């Protein structure tokens, strides 16, 4: 599983001109699933994500977590995070999980974030989405297991 985590002041995702998810301060998370990923993989990354200390404290040091600031999550499924561009100019996506597994783990990941008390919004799995964000920093972190 691969996460691209962007610290944002706000973010939203739109499908067919309708907002499907919108947050204020927190993380926009682009989530890719590999064929070998499991619920245990997701559990590990949920804990890593919510404990990641990349919000600034009173001394302007990255020292606060999502929970510390009562932040929100916008999670967007993105199989293109597993693009392989080594064999030419057209990416191959054979390293991405099949849609059934990817959607199952995407939904599970968000459920686990909610169980941790994090307000979690989302995009629409498999849809063409427009994602808007105001990156704060900018701070972008890649988490993978």
Active site residues: 80
Distance CA 78, CA 96 (A): 9
CB 144 within 8 A of CB 35: no
- DSSP states of 28-53: EEEEE--TT--HHHHHHHHHHHHH--
Q: Are 109 and 97 in contact (CB under 8 A)?
A: no
Maximum separation of any 2 CA atoms in the chain, in Å: 48
Please answer whether residues 19 and 76 qualify as being in contact, where contact means their C-beta atoms are separated by less than 8 angstroms: no
Residues ≥6 apart with Cβ < 8 Å to 58: none
């Amino acid at each position: 599983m691969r996460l691209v985590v962007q610290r944002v002041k706000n973010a939203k995702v739109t499908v067919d001109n309708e907002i499907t998810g919108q947050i204020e301060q927190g993380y926009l998370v682009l989530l890719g699933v590999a064929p070998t990923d499991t619920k245990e993989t997701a559990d590990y990354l949920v804990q890593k994500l919510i404990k990641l200390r990349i919000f600034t404290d009173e001394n302007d040091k990255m020292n606060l977590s999502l929970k510390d600031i009562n932040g929100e999550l916008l999670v967007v499924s993105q199989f293109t995070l597993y693009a392989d561009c080594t064999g030419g100019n057209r990416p191959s996506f054979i390293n991405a999980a099949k849609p059934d597994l990817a959607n199952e783990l995407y939904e599970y990941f968000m459920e686990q974030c909610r169980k941790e008390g994090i307000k979690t919004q989302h995009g629409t799995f498999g849809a063409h989405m427009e994602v808007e964000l105001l990156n704060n920093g900018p701070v972008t972190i890649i988490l993978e297991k």
